[in-house]
Amino acid sequence: MATTKMPIAKALNTSLRKAMEDDPKVLIMGEDVGKLGGVFRITDGLQKDFGEDRVIDTPLAESGIVGTAIGLALRGYRPVVEIQFDGFVFPAYDQIVTQLAKMHARALGKVKLPVVVRIPYAGGIGAVEHHSESPEALFAHVAGLKCVSPSNASDAYWMMQQAIESDDPVIFFEPKRRYWDKGDVDTEAIPGPLHAARVAQQGTDLTLAAYGPMVKTCLEAAQAAAEEGKSLEVVDMRSMSPVDFDTIQQSVEKTGRLVVVHEAPVFLGTGSEVAARITERCFYHLEAPVLRVGGFHAPYPPARLEDEYLPNLDRVLDAVDRALAY
């Protein structure tokens, strides 16, 4: 075992380094990823060690970043591109949705698009607008893209390498407010599959399903509920496309209740899909309707209101109480 405690940011950095060592075709591209090491320092030191040919500071143009990454992938490279913040992916949205997602199918499977688009996403860091959004449903809705989000250091380390190894485009959502959370990383472990959900905490009364930044919030909610004598199970979904419905189903068959939690607006969010599928699959096991906790149908608010906007312990427990009251 080679287990080290490190923050998520460091786990991502170590993982990128490993991927670049293992495969000379892996490239890193993005704004400020070189000398600065990215605004969150996820690519810190990589340009120094792998050179400007492999860690490429790009012009300030997201459509250009993703569009050229597609070309590089067609030429046999495996680009990992960084979008500086969630709100700045949209200039590249056209390239991602109309090109990156569909090219494999259009070429009858003859070309592969192993591009990873890294997006530091979601809120909780007191930023100005466009720096706190959760656009994952907009990508998960598009066939041809895989969407994942780690919630802890070990997953950050392993899922990044699995995303890079994938021959499909992966939108890799990094929970920016958890970058500094530490966890154990066993660099010699055999990781589970990229898209498998994980039961992060066993329980019997109700299932909380979440991914990325909300997993920690749900674990805290489970702990608070335990003090009141309620046993909550927490499923870390890890992937929003595909979703591992089997793992959630198993959990719900045991607990009979489900609350899905994410930061993104509830309306037409990932949670809507989970609620609908689990209702189909578990109708006779459910003791209560599937509830969702998330953002509102309103623009992400200014920083001084984000604590009100973001699901917190109280809002999760409020939904838990409502589900248990049926």
Binding mask 250-269 for other proteins (x = CB under 8 A): -----------------x--
Residue 263 is inside which H or E element, if any? strand 258-265
Q: Which of 60, 105, 268, 276 binds ligand TPP (CB under 6 A)?
A: 60
User: Which does residue 310 touch among other proteins, ligand TPP, none (CB within 5 to 8 A, set by kind)?
Assistant: none
Residue 249 makes contact with ligand TPP by CB under 6 A: no
Q: Is 302 in the site for other proteins (CB under 8 A)?
A: yes
> In this complex, which beta carbon is closest to ligand TPP, that of residue 60 or of residue 107?
60
Three-class SS of residue 111? coil
- Is 67 one of the binding residues for ligand TPP (CB under 6 A)? no
* Neighbour-count burial of 324, counting CB atoms closer than 10 A to its CB (0-12 exposed, 13-18 middle, 19+ buried): middle
88 binds ligand TPP (CB under 6 A): yes
What is the C-alpha to C-alpha distance for residues 15 and 103, in angstroms, rounded to an integer? 27
Near other proteins by CB under 8 A, which window of 53-61, 105-113, 224-232, 283-291? 53-61
| 141 near other proteins (CB under 8 A) | no
As measured in angstroms, the least distance from the Cβ of 301 to other proteins is 5
Q: Which residues pair with 78 in a beta bridge?
A: 26
Do the Cβ atoms of 78 and 114 come closer than 8 Å?
Answer: yes
Query: Which one of residues 21, 22, 49, 52 is an interface residue with other proteins (CB under 8 A)?
Result: 52
Q: What separation in angstroms does the CA of 326 have from each of 68, 135, 194, 249, 311?
A: 53, 32, 35, 19, 22
Q: Are 70 and 113 in contact (CB under 8 A)?
A: yes
Which residue is catalytic, options 130, 131, 262, 285? 131
Asked if 121 contacts 175 with a C-beta cutoff of 8 angstroms, the reply is yes
Residues numbered 266-285 forming contacts with other proteins, rule: CB under 8 A: 267
Question: Looking at beta carbons only, is 36 or 226 nearer to other proteins?
Answer: 36
Tell me whether residue 285 is one of the annotated catalytic residues. no
